Amino acid sequence: MEKSAKKPVVMSGIRPTGILHLGSYFGALQNYIRMQDEYECYFMVADLHSLTTHPDTKSLRANVLHVISEHLACGLDPDKVALYCQSAIHETSELYFYLNTLAYKGELEKTTTFKDKARLQPQNINAALLTYPSLMAADILLHRALYVPVGKDQEQHLEMARNFATRFNHRYGEIFPGPLAFNFGAALVKVPALDGSGKMSKSENQNATLYLSDDDALIRKKVMKAKTDEGPKVPGTPMPDYIENLFHLLQLVSTTEVYEKFVTDYNQCSIRYGDLKKQLAENMVQFIAPIREKAIVIRNNESYMQEVMEKGAAKAGESAKKTMQLVRDAIGVKYF
Ligand code: ADP
């Protein structure tokens, strides 16, 4: 690795399979924004990845623009980071191929997300779905990134990316750092769904997911519908998952005082979940509304959007070209 004062390289991506939500923000975007000053950052909208599960491309353009506008609205500065679309960087497919020669069918088939997705779309278990971890590794290794800010759901993919990097280095020579999941030393985040089952997500569980473009009334409606019960009757009763989730959400958007007040109420068996949900709904509205409004203004400025995406692709393309020179030399697919 270089010894210069070069900033450590960071890479991450979000699929345009829908629009962004609270999980995208706290699992990924929040860290992107915190990292943009001190790291060399590559953040992409993973449109190729989305084709493995969403082959119908009718809403692809709208989703890509929506997701990019939300990255910007959350505070990402396109002059500091490379914000680009995966399909604009053709070198990705070349590296993906090389990494596929190092990825084994057995380990790919064992990946949790592959098994989940194969269950959800039994009629379309395509080869790219199986090799998703190789493509994700290509996205990261293309910039020789060291840190990858992601949510907890991506931990296993990252481990595979590290394995592929190690195998490549072992076979062809030291080119890639082993990429690490990153969350400023804290545990990786999982933002739970409002119905107590699974995580918030772009494409599944839409009534239990709070989107960054939900209007105020919809936010309130979704939060008020969250599952609760009669509350604890005996001090020391452990919290059921669905209640713990609500506290977790409260911790993300409310003040410490508010959070602690409800924890005390719970411990004293005097909690009123109606009040907790009202408070949570108001704090969610306060958090989401400014992002939503800003994203609309940004999205409506198409020439600005185009400028941002072209600038991002140029920066990412430059870094990809450099890496691929090293990769081709190392493999030996360069004859003169
Ligand atoms: P989705 O599951 O919504 O389709 P992606 O697979 O595109 O999201 O993931 C984009 C980023 O957002 C990844 O870093 C992922 O870890 C993070 N992320 C997505 N959902 C959540 C969640 N509910 N909690 C924490 N992080 C999440």
Q: Which CATH number does the domain housing residue 44 bear?
A: 3.40.50.620
Task: Find the 153 Cα to ligand 1 centroid distance in Å.
Answer: 7
> If pLDDT is split at 50, 70 and 90, which confidence band does 187 have?
confident
Say yes or no: 72 and 145 in one domain. Answer: yes
275 CA → ligand 1 middle, Å: 29
Residue 99: which of 53, 167, 45, 51 has the closest Cα?
167
Q: Rounded to two decimals, what is the model's pTM?
A: 0.92
Shared domain for 36 and 160, answered yes or no, is yes
Residue 78 Cβ inside 6 Å of ligand 1? The answer reads no
Does residue 80 fall inside a structural domain? yes
The first and second tokens of residue 11, run together, are 């890479």
pLDDT class of 216 with cuts at 50, 70, 90: very high
Question: Is residue 25 domain-resident?
Answer: yes
Residues 223 and 103 in one domain: no
Residue 102 near residue 171 (C-beta atoms within 8 A): yes
What's the chain's average pLDDT?
95
| Strand pairing report for 147-148 and 180-181 | parallel
- 50 and 130 share one domain: yes
Say if 222 falls within a structural domain: yes
Tell whether 311 and 260 lie within a shared domain: no
**Does 105 lie in the same domain as 28?**
yes
Same domain, 222 and 309: no
b/e burial code for range 101-115 (CB count within 10 A of at least 16 → b): ebbeeeebeebebbe
Same domain, 226 and 121: no
Residue 70 maps to a domain: yes
Between 133-142, 144-153, 260-269, 325-334, the lowest mean confidence (pLDDT) is in 144-153
Ligand 1 site, residue 146, Cβ cutoff 6 A: no
For the CA of 27, the closest atom of ligand 1 is: 26
Q: Would you say residue 203 lies in a domain?
A: no
CA of 35 to the centre of ligand 1 (A): 18
Structural contact between residues 77 and 46, judged by C-beta atoms closer than 8 angstroms? no
Number of domains in the chain: 2
Domain interval for residue 279: 214-295
pLDDT exceeds cutoff 90 at 185: no
C-alpha radius of gyration, the chain, whole number = 21
Q: For ligand 1, is residue 201 a contact (CB within 6 Å)?
A: yes
Atom of ligand 1 nearest to the CA of 154: 16
| CATH at residue 269 | 1.10.240.10
CB 27 less than 6 A from any atom of ligand 1: yes
Domain co-membership, 236 together with 88: no
| Residue 1 counted as domain residue | no
Top-confidence residue, 75 or 3: 75
Taking residues 296-307, what's their average pLDDT? 98
Name the band, by pLDDT with cuts 50, 70 and 90, for residue 4. low
State the catalytic residues.
117, 199, 202
Percent of the chain at pLDDT above 90? Answer: 89
Q: Quick check: 184 pLDDT over 90?
A: no
Let me know whether 178 and 41 are in one domain: yes
Examine residue 204 and state whether it is found in any structural domain, yes or no: no
Q: What CA–CA distance (Å, rounded) separates 288 from 282?
A: 10
- Condensed to tens digits (0 to 9), the pLDDT of residues 82-127 reads 999 999 999 999 999 999 999 999 999 999 999 999 999 999 999 9
Q: Are residues 90 and 324 in contact, defined by beta-carbon separation less than 8 angstroms?
A: no
What pLDDT is attached to residue 191?
A: 94
At residue 202, the pLDDT reads 85
CA distance 305 to 293: 16
Task: Tell me whether residue 149 is in a domain.
Answer: yes
Q: Determine the pLDDT at residue 204.
A: 75
Co-location of 106 and 185 in the same domain: yes
Q: Are residues 284 and 316 in the same domain?
A: no
pLDDT of 3 strictly over 60: no
